Structure formats: structure tokens, C-alpha cells
Copies of this chain bind each other. A is one copy, B any other.
Amino acid sequence: MNFASDNWSGATDAVMAAITRHKDGFVPAYGADTLTKAIAERFSEMFEKDVAVYFVGSGTAANAISMAAGARPGGLIFCSADAHLYNDEMGASEFFTGGMKLIPLPAHNGLIAPESLAAGLSRFPADSRTGVPAMLSLTQASELGTVYSVEQIGELAKMARARGMAVHMDGARFANAVAALGASPAEITWKAGVDILSFGGTKNGCWAAEAIVVFSPERFGDLEAIRQRAGHTASKARFIAAQFEGYFEDGSWLATARHANLMAGRLADGIRASKTARLGWAPQANEVFAVLPKAAIARLRAEGAMFYEWPAEGVAPGPEEDLVRLVTSFATSEQEVERFLGHL
């Protein structure tokens, strides 16, 4: 019963098979190999557009390098107050950008509302001495298990672009969002106004495989140099490409994401049906936030269940309750879900 995080899981068989397949032989280093090039090509197909792709090994790297590529002196990055970029990366974006300031926007269940972005931007008129609005970062699926609709992305991107900002999507759980929306990768990115994407593979079955996907190359310079200067250009680059080869094989990436979302849905259904627990809000991807009795939490932990308690902003647990986060992944089994629900 492990719902601690999707990065507590290992790698899928498809990913491992691909790495193993490419383990022998000599190929050029630093991404000049044919496999890396072929997989980069596959991204262009997937996004129905010629994109530039830069593979890296961590989501923090993908985010921070994206920010660095769009950096401006005194620039501001707007994101949700729940954003991983803001809360969980030890100041990586600040460091990579020479000190850009992150402006955490109040969000509703993880999603920035247009009004929240408008209020944030209004604090920084064109001649502000505080900073220059430079980037908007949206997390899709969000850190709170919710998903922006195509329209929501489009509206926020339009507002950002009207202020000259570039739009970044933190897609650490991009596959879960695609699976949840049934929209195409193109529809929820560049067609809606996204300029650059952190495309995650790690949380959904890779070991360490993320891709920075650039839709608006005219807005981002020197990505190759930024990546290398950060020590994020893998020498045996084929190893990341191979993970993506396995990830995409036979639609594996969407199958694993759908499974994770399905398991989250089961958890949510079970919680809804229970008499003792309730959902914090409706989950759309692979994270479920639920208010549980403290007694149930203790009982579950005693049975070996792993999950985190979460700051309950916007939800009001009773004195004998707590908000918890339950994350599912490709490795979550129905049995685990059933056992968990059985203990409620």
C-alpha cells in the first residue's frame, strides 16, 4: 500500500528492455548518437510540430534550464503557490536564472485562476522597479492532482503573452494530464500558447528521463550551452534516449498513465463511498487528496501504508481528521488500492 509518491516506484519493463537493448557498442557521446536524434524526432511527431528537444535527467533540471533559457535580469516568474518549482527545488530556478524572483500566486486546488494571475500581474506595472514579468509556469497535471482544461491554459497563456511573458508548462506528470483530458499533446501545449515544456518521464516509469521541449525557439536562446554549463548534458546520452524509446513503445507512456489515473479514480470512488473519509477535492489525474480520520490514518500506517499528510489549505479537517495525499503510479496494483480502502 505505497502511495507516498510516484517517484518511489522503479522502472517499467519496457524502459528496462530498451536500456538493455542499447547497452553494447560504441556511439558518439553527448547526444550526437543516432538513437538520441531518432527519439528527438519522435517528439516532433508527437507534438505535430518541429520542436527542439533537450534531454535531461531530472524534473528540477528541466524546469530550471527552461527558466534560464527565458531569463531576464530582474525578471519575474509567476507560478502557483503550490508549484514544485516554487516549493520543492531548493531555489533551482532562482539559481539558474541569476536570481529571478518567483511570485507564488494563490491557486484553487492547484490551478491558477485568471483572476489570480491578473491580480499578481497588476502589482507589477510596466515601469516597476521590483521586476519584469518574464515567465508564467503552469503545472500540468498540477501538484494537487487537478488538470487545466485546454481553455484554461489558453486563457492564462493569452494573459501572460499580452504582458510579453513566455509560458512554461511543468509537465512532470504530463502523461497523466494527457490521459485525463483525452486531448492531444499539441492541444494542451503550443496550440494553447505554451512556449516551452518540461516533459516528464521519470514519475511515470522511467529511471531518469525528462525532456525540455521548445515550441517557440525564438524566445529561448543557448539551451545547449545552458544545459552543458549545468552539467546536465549526459555523456552517454543514449541512455536517456533509450528510456524514452521504451517509454513510447506501443503507447506504453499513456498506458501507464491511464493505469495510474485509474487507480487514483478507484481510490477516489472508494473514499467517496466510505462513511468515514471524504475527498478534499475531485482528483483528475494520479493524486488523491482526502480527509481521513486520524484513527484511520494510524490504522493504515500500522498496516504498512505509506503516504504523506498534507497542509490542508482550503480544506477544513475536523479536530480528529487530517488531509492526506495518495499518489498512484504504473506500479500501483488494484490489490493495494482495495486493501487501502478496506482499512478505511
Chain A interfacial positions (CB closer than 8 Å to B): 2, 4-5, 7-11, 13, 16, 19-20, 22-30, 56-65, 68, 72-75, 86-102, 129-132, 202-203, 207-208, 221-222, 225-226, 228-236, 238-239, 306, 331
Contacts and interface: CB of A to CB of B under 8 A. Distances in A.
19 contacts: A7-B236, A8-B26, A8-B28, A9-B26, A16-B23, A24-B331, A57-B208, A58-B233, A58-B235, A61-B231, A73-B95, A74-B225, A75-B91, A87-B130, A90-B229, A91-B99, A92-B228, A93-B99, A208-B208
Contact of A20 (B20, B73, B101): B20
A86 B128 CA distance: 12
A229 B26 contact: no
A125 B202 CA distance: 27
Given A57-B208, A61-B232, A95 B92 contact: no
Contact of A25 (B10, B23, B26): B10
Contact of A231 (B99, B222, B232, B235): B232
Contacts of A5: 29
A56 B58 CA distance: 11
A99 B97 contact: yes
A86 to B, nearest CB: 8
Tell me how many chains of this kind the complex includes.
Answer: 4
A58 B240 CA distance: 13
Contact of A208 (B130, B228, B236): B236
A46 B148 CA distance: 51
A74 B26 contact: no
Given A7-B236, A239-B207, A230 B28 contact: no
B4 A26 contact: yes
Given A16-B23, A23-B10, A208-B239, A229 B91 contact: yes
Nearest to A60: B231
A235 B208 CA distance: 8
Contact of A95 (B8, B99, B202, B221): B99
A229 B95 contact: yes
Contacts of A73: 68, 90-91, 95, 222, 225-226, 229
